[in-house]
Amino acid sequence: MQGEKSIYLPSQNIIKVHPLVIFNILDHYIRRNEGQDRVIGTLLGFNNDGVIEIRNCFPVVHSEGDQIAVEMEFHRKMLDLHLKSSPREPIVGWYATGSDINENSVIINNFYREEMNGTPVHLTVDTGLTNDTMGIHAYQAHQLSTTSDSSLGSYFSPLPLEILSFDAENAGIDALTSNNSQLHQQPQQPQLQEGEQTTTEQTQEGEQQQQQPQQPQPQQSVSLLTELESLRGSLTKLDTMLDDVANYIEAVERGEIQGDPRIGRFLAKTIQSLPKSNTQVMDKVINNSVKDLLMIVYISSLTRSQLAVAEKLRQSLTF
Amino acid sequence: MSSTPTNSTSPTTAAVATTSTAATAALTIQNIDEQIVADYNSSKLDVVQIDGIVVMKIIKQCKEHLPELVPGQLLGLDLGTTLEVSNCFPFPNPRDSDEGDSSEGIAEYQLEMMRFLREVNIDSNTVGWYTPTYLNSFFNESVIETQFNYQATINQKCVVLVYDPIKTSQGTLSLRCYRLTQPFMALFKDQEFSREKLDSANLNFNDIFEQIPIKIHNSQLINALLYELETSDSMTSNFDRLNIGNNIYLEKVLEGMTDCVDSLSQELSKVAGYQRNFQQHQLQRNSFIQKKALDGQKASEAEIASHLAAVLKPLPNPPSKLTSLLLSNQINNYCEQIHSFCDGKIVAPNLNADIPIKVRLVNTLDTEIIIEQIPSKDGSFSFFNVPAGSYVLDVDNLRYVYKPHKVEVGSKSNSIKIRNDNNTIVSTPITLQPVAISNYFQQHVPFSILGFLSNPMFMMMGITGILVVVMPYMTNAIENDEEAKEAFKLNAPDMVQKVPEWHSLQISQKSLPSSSPTASSK
């Protein structure tokens, strides 16, 4: 049945991946067995009229050597368990680490095709970080055949992929990144290290990777930011963004940069969308809301002191 | 939250799995064994280290099941005084599962899940559980019971991670970590929450849960991914928290707080009702004993009990003190949330920092006409297009006081006169110097005795006191001085002599009747 889809009509599927999936894959890769080159697992999500949203995944035990073995039992049990907790996420495909697709991938792909009765999505994450990027790619395999029953091979066609996250996830990622101030300098170094090692000595790198989670790196763990600190972060960011825009406009006005009409239109639109506000009205509104806030703070302080008084009374009654 | 009571049985079964894994995982080396045992036995917990993946998983699971709040299990390692949480999985949503009694199903699910996760080298030790809540309103008895079960049966260091989806959707990740305190654990074991018990334990409402600081840890690979996400994409929620119109959150917190206060007052009235009942019982009891004593009998306990049962309703159970304790804790928690939320909105003005200065011209005739200006960075200011009239130039600053100037603007151009407070005309580029630091607070006068003396009441009292002492001496001086006496006598007409003295009058009256009989006898 796959033969009917010719390679000249690539499917217009769009893949949307949640960051959690990538997190999971990387975690799985870090926790792989000694000497193992790559890890695979099952992707869960749903297909929404050509937009395939990958929302979750779980690792699957497999071994690659002379023979390839995927623990089907494990996969099925795990799928059952996952369906119990989130029944609206059927299996949509599978993932593997590494950047290349080899013969084993074809075999695994065939296995998944039988499991899910459809074309599985194949997601690869390049944990070797070649070219200093986390190469995340999605593919879908098409059978090359001349007749409907014979198969010449498989063709993995790349699919457009984007990383999708909702508000709360954004906040989570934000919390993970924003307090990682050293993140901006540090990643360069490990990226290079790991990239070199994968190309040269795979086994040694594996050992080192295995040790990594066992050694907690104190400079890597950071505490959550308070409300005020994160607010300051937001404001600084907003400020720099406005500065950037202003610099850009000035540069265009001076004639240093060729102005992009699209950006100009966008900026004009943005400024137009601002409501015209009277300064006095604005002042009044802000003052009122500050007063409200002060009132609420006052009430909560009052409640707190009441509680403290009650507590003191109780203590003095007992002694 | 509805699923938490059903989960309460699961940790016991899960504990078996944990200990067995610990046994297999424990290496044969003796000191590592000892270390593990020592870690297990000590209850000290300084920090909880959470992997980024756990944060993401919790967020995802919670988002998926909204509005249902589905808890889940945390997996990780217990290392010294830190607790590493490296993975988690959700419990199945009770709404989705068709089987009736799910408590066994959940326990089985947990075991299976942990077994499979162990196969892919994921830490399969239970280190606690997580639960999403709205507005951190999780201080209820079912949560405490579940947490107690975890801490009592699995590990003293088990924690509960509390995640607030509402707060998080506003752009700030809200994740807190709690566990029950040791004194409370001891108390909860006995299931005894009478007043006396709590008093003897000296348990404060703050002592039920202890909050444990959270640290977030990422492996290098995940850091690389985060770096990529940050640079490549514009998917940050940094600006969500700048939204001014998010008073709904505050409203909800306040609502919750009011509800809590309401139920606390209900609880109080319950206690009062119980007390009234109790007093009535005592009263009845005493009067019964007295009656018996009057009859010359001794009342036995059984008789008293039967009498009381006949007269009054039986005494209800005393209301649990735990409820009010929990409510206080919850209220306190709400207050903290409000404060932390408002911290970002209201910042106390820092008096040491640069304080904005405003220069203003106020029309003396019509004070509605005010021209205000904020000086530029170098402090210069200039007014343009001021309508004719007389003005007062004033500086509005929180910290310093400036002298006002009078400004007269004529109808012709260039006819501007500026006078300082001595009424002398100064030339146009004027320089304003602060003359004083404004003082907002009055110094409190300390207590002193001299201060009392200056009080008019005390002055009056003092003068009268002096008079009392001095007057006798003054009169004495007059009496002792003969000359003065003479002078006094001479000057003053002798009024005293002319008036007959009282006793001489009496005598003369007495003598009259006595004389008359003698006369008649004669």
Judge if A43 and A160 occupy the same domain. Answer: yes
Rounded Cα distance between B35 and B24, Å, is 15
- The listed CATH number (1.10.10.10, 3.40.140.10, 3.30.43.10, 3.30.70.120) that belongs to domain B4-180+213-243: 3.40.140.10
Closest approach of A180 to chain B, Cα-based (Å)? 9
Average pLDDT estimate for A292-304? 85
CATH number at residue A174: 3.40.140.10
B250 to chain A: which residues are within 8 Å by CB?
A: 293, 296
Q: Is residue A64 part of a domain?
A: yes
Provide the pLDDT for residue B124: 75
Rounded Cα distance between A30 and A39, Å, is 10
Judge if A193 and A284 occupy the same domain. Answer: no
CB distance A86 to B91 below 8 Å: no
| Distance in Å from the first CA to the final CA of chain B | 130
Q: Is residue A113 part of a domain?
A: yes
Strands (E), A119-183: 121-125, 136-144, 153-159, 161-163
Rounded Cα distance between A234 and B170, Å, is 13
Last residue of a domain, one of A213, A235, A260: A213
Q: Which residue has the tokens 């009235």?
A: B269
Q: What is the DSSP string of B268-304?
A: HHHHHHHHHHHHHHHHHHHHHHHHHHHTT-PPPHHHH
Rounded Cα distance between B1 and B131, Å, is 8
Q: Is the pLDDT of residue A42 over 50?
A: yes
- A127–B219 C-beta distance less than 8 A: no
B1 contact partners, CB below 8 Å, separation of at least 6:
B69, B131, B133, B138, B140, B142, B143
Judge if A264 and A282 occupy the same domain. Answer: no
Instruction: Name A157's bridge partners.
Output: A140
Q: Choose the most confident range, by mean pLDDT, from A52-66, B166-180, B268-282.
A: B268-282
Q: Is residue A220 part of a domain?
A: no
Show the domain range for A242. Answer: 226-274
Which residue from A81, A171, A221 is facing B109, i.e. has the nearest CB?
Answer: A81
Judge if A46 and A113 occupy the same domain. Answer: yes
Which residue from A22, A84, A213 is facing B219, i.e. has the nearest CB?
Answer: A213
CB distance B93 to B50 below 8 Å: no
Judge if A126 and A80 occupy the same domain. Answer: yes
Q: Is the pLDDT of residue B25 over 70?
A: no
Judge if A143 and A268 occupy the same domain. Answer: no
Radius of gyration of chain A (CA): 27
- Split into its structural domains, chain A has a count of 3
Residue B519: pLDDT band (50, 70, 90) is very low
pTM: 0.64
Half-sphere exposure of A74 (CA within 13 A, CB side): 18
pLDDT in tens, A167-186: 777 777 777 776 554 444 44
Provide the pLDDT for residue B17: 42
Judge if A200 and A245 occupy the same domain. Answer: no
Judge if A205 and A165 occupy the same domain. Answer: yes
Judge if A246 and A287 occupy the same domain. Answer: no
Residue B9: pLDDT band (50, 70, 90) is very low
Q: Which residue has the higher pLDDT, A283 or B171?
A: A283
Q: Please report which residue ranges of B176-246 form alpha helices under DSSP H.
A: 182-190, 195-201, 220-232
Residue B336: pLDDT band (50, 70, 90) is confident
Backbone angles phi, psi at B389, to 5 degrees: 145, 180
Residue B517: pLDDT band (50, 70, 90) is very low
Q: Is the pLDDT of residue A213 over 50?
A: no
Which residue from B49, B172, B175 is facing A227, i.e. has the nearest CB?
Answer: B172
Q: Is residue A218 part of a domain?
A: no
Provide the pLDDT for residue B13: 42
Average pLDDT estimate for B205-232? 77
Average pLDDT estimate for A98-120? 79
Q: Is the pLDDT of residue B297 over 50?
A: yes
Q: Which of residues 219-278 of B touch A (CB under 8 A)?
A: 219-230, 233, 235-242, 244, 247, 250, 254, 257, 261
Instruction: Name B350's bridge partners.
Output: none
pLDDT in tens, B131-160: 888 776 777 777 888 888 888 887 777 888
- A300–B257 C-beta distance less than 8 A: yes
Judge if A141 and A17 occupy the same domain. Answer: yes
pLDDT in tens, A229-265: 777 777 888 888 889 889 988 888 888 888 788 888 9
B214 to chain A: which residues are within 8 Å by CB?
A: 223-224
Separate counts of helices (H) and strands (E) for chain B: 18, 16
- B84–A171 C-beta distance less than 8 A: no
pLDDT in tens, B194-205: 666 666 666 677
Judge if A267 and A188 occupy the same domain. Answer: no
CA B235 to chain centre: 38
Average pLDDT, chain B: 73
Judge whether B176 is closer than 8 Å to chain A, CB to CB: no
Q: Which residue has the tokens 């006068």?
A: B445
Could you tell me the sign of the dihedral formed by the alpha carbons of A146, A147, A152, A154, in that order? positive
Judge if A82 and A128 occupy the same domain. Answer: yes
Could you tell me the sign of the dihedral formed by the alpha carbons of A52, A54, A58, A61, in that order? positive
pLDDT in tens, B370-384: 777 777 767 777 777
Q: Which residue has the higher pLDDT, A119 or A245?
A: A245
Provide the pLDDT for residue A197: 40
